[in-house]
Amino acid sequence: MSEKHKNPVEWPTLLLVFACYVTWAVATTWLAALWLPAAMLVATLAMVMHSSLQHEVLHGHPFANRMMNEILVFLPIGLFYPYGRFRDLHLAHHRDEFLTDPYDDPETNFLDPAVWAGLSRLHRLILRANNTLLGRMIIGPARSVLALIRGDLRLMAAGDRAIWRDWILHGAGLVPVCYWMVHVPMPAWAYILSAYAGLSILKIRTFLEHRAHERARGRSVVIEGGTILPFLFLNNNLHCVHHAKPQVAWYRLPAIYAAQRDEFLRRNDGYRYASYSEVFRRYLLKTKDPVPHPLWPKS
């Protein structure tokens, strides 16, 4: 059997998609009318789950057919990111030989030291703050969305039709989402704030997924403990397992890791944390990495 699940439908993922949309709908309607703070929290968690499900879809789940998969996550309930751009940039990120590369890894926060040297003092201060966990959660979402828009506008101006398509589809998906929001009790400001909070939670996952390391296999982390965040991230806390086996469904990753734990920790040179609680204790107000890539330029 190949690493990818051979059943025609991966039911745990499909059922989770259904539950995610139901939760989002309940949060923006009944719960928003009952108590807005609770509705915002539940909506935020639904948006985090939706993003994690988009990640599953771009890796080929829960169906064998790409179009069927993408229809499942077409609605951009998280507002900010076009699915097509997330898909293409994330798949480019999965070229492990380029992980943390300031130029060829689209998800890295490292900069070429030469670029860093040319930045203003204020810009450096912002980027250093972004390299603490609290900073990543507060300013990280705005910084990443603005960077995406700025870069995509340049590419669109140069005639990149694929990016035009992705943004047009994103706009089309926003139409029913906005129509829904006009007719539900949750105020627009509360929904937008919830969407931003969802990105903030997702930044916890991406904060230290990868480190600068001479070997590609040593760059991806394992965070072993916890229940709520690993579930919201669909077991992407076992990130070195995901990078080693990107076609494996989320619900199979824990068993694979448990069966080969010593081997995975040997492969990633022990890049491991016991839980997200440890990550918060160590890095909430402290930078984990420098902004300039410590191993750049490559030898």
pLDDT tens track for 32-83: 999 999 999 999 999 999 999 999 999 999 999 999 999 999 999 999 999 9
Q: Beta-carbon neighbour count of residue 128 at 10 Å?
A: 13
Cα 63–Cα 82–Cα 100 angle in degrees, nearest 5: 90
Q: Which of 49, 181, 255 is nearest to 41 (CA)?
A: 49
Kindly report the length of the chain: 299
In angstroms, the CA 136 to CA 141 distance is: 7
pTM, two decimals, is 0.94
Neighbouring residues of 260: CB distance < 8 A, sequence distance ≥ 6: none
Element (H, E) at 14: helix 11-26
Nearest CA to 271 out of 229, 208, 227 is that of 208
What's the N-to-C CA distance of the chain in angstroms? 40
Q: Alpha-carbon distance 192 to 78, whole Å?
A: 9
Domain boundaries, the chain: 11-283
From first to last of its 299 residues, the chain has per-residue pLDDT tens of 344 445 689 999 999 999 999 999 999 999 999 999 999 999 999 999 999 999 999 999 999 999 999 999 999 999 999 999 999 999 999 999 999 999 999 999 999 999 999 999 999 999 999 999 999 999 999 999 999 999 999 999 999 999 999 999 999 999 999 999 999 999 999 999 999 999 999 999 999 999 999 999 999 999 998 999 999 999 999 999 999 999 999 999 999 999 999 999 999 999 999 999 999 999 999 999 999 999 998 64
Structure tokens that stand for 71 in this block: 């229809």
